[in-house]
A = this chain, B = another copy of it.
């Protein structure tokens, strides 16, 4: 059933080496021969077997990307950025979701290693760096995405989330708000912890300002709505006058809970800001202020670093790229 190079070679009356050359270095083969071989390929319906190819080459032409959550538009945007850059280099990106589950993260990392991918991009869940270290030591380049490698042992692309948290909080404080609530969790996720830390620092600098944490179980719209309900259920006087949500999904949930019954006006009673600036943020009925991260650029850069590591000699020095987040003001924090 399966048609191999050998069959093509026989049909075109050439050797297997020549077929391979037609496939990979057509300029090294006489034009007439190329034509004959291509005709045979067409006629037999030959399709290269990638497994055999990889086996010989040692590495695959794919990059594995393990993201925290495919349903978060921020990550799909990063993935798309990575994909276009990879395509330029003739590579493909394979996506895997850890769904904030350590076990699934491991499964994907192992799978990618068995596939001898060109490299692994990963937004690691927790601090399982030793595992990634081993992966790298065995020869698979690794780039951390959306996480800074503090010990400088890995290449990484990150956005300064502490600065982002500060940016959001300072914006709210600048509006004159003083009772700020941070909605987000769990704090084991580094992004959440950093954004909170940034906000804490900004609030600490303003004497009469306070910061309250409303924890969530994950970073979804549903959890945001639950957190919003908690706030809405309080007497008006005890509500915060500003909410900083750890990401836009949460913020949209909060928004819905607050505005649904008209109890609290956004931004009148409560100013609201999210994080990531996903497409839906601008499209919310009260367009959402947010902290923008250069998602596509992050993806691009991650692939660049990966390729640099893959092509490097032994004395490769990892590189840490940190982007600065940007405040985007919309109606939800107007006035």
Residues of A within 8 A of B (CB): 1-2, 45, 47-55, 58, 60, 70-71, 73, 76-77, 79-80, 83, 92, 94-97, 110-111, 113-116, 134, 138-139, 220-222, 224-225, 252-253, 255-256, 259-260, 279-280, 283-287
Inter-chain contact B139/A2, CB cutoff 8 Å: yes
Chain B minimum-CB-distance residue to A221: B283
13 A–B contact pairs at CB < 8 A? A1-B139, A47-B114, A47-B138, A49-B116, A50-B114, A51-B52, A51-B54, A51-B55, A70-B79, A71-B73, A76-B76, A222-B283, A252-B283
CB within 8 A of A252: which of B45, B116, B280? B280
Q: Given A45-B138, A256-B284, are A71 and B76 neighbors across the interface (CB < 8 Å)? A: yes
Chain A contact residues, majority secondary structure: helix
- A116–chain B nearest beta-carbon distance, Å: 6
Inter-chain contact A280/B49, CB cutoff 8 Å: no
Q: Given A76-B71, A285-B259, A286-B285, are A51 and B279 neighbors across the interface (CB < 8 Å)? A: no
Inter-chain contact A260/B285, CB cutoff 8 Å: yes
CB within 8 A of A116: which of B50, B76, B220? B50
Q: How far is the CA of A152 from the CA of B111 in the complex (A)?
A: 36
Q: Given A71-B76, A134-B45, are A221 and B280 neighbors across the interface (CB < 8 Å)? A: yes
Residues of B within 8 A of A94 (CB): 94-95
Q: How far is the CA of A280 from the CA of B256 in the complex (A)?
A: 10
> In the complex, given contacts A224-B283, A284-B285, A285-B285, what are 17 additional A-B residue pairs having Cβ atoms less than 8 angstroms apart?
A2-B139, A49-B114, A50-B51, A50-B111, A50-B116, A51-B51, A51-B60, A53-B114, A70-B76, A70-B79, A80-B97, A221-B283, A222-B283, A225-B283, A256-B284, A259-B285, A280-B280
- A121–chain B nearest beta-carbon distance, Å: 15
Chain B minimum-CB-distance residue to A279: B221
Inter-chain contact B111/A92, CB cutoff 8 Å: yes
Chain B minimum-CB-distance residue to A79: B70
- A280–chain B nearest beta-carbon distance, Å: 6
Q: How far is the CA of A53 from the CA of B111 in the complex (A)?
A: 13
Inter-chain contact B138/A51, CB cutoff 8 Å: no
Q: How far is the CA of A60 from the CA of B94 in the complex (A)?
A: 15
- A299–chain B nearest beta-carbon distance, Å: 13
- 4 A-B pairs with least C-beta separation: A51-B54, A285-B285, A50-B114, A51-B55
Q: How far is the CA of A116 from the CA of B111 in the complex (A)?
A: 17
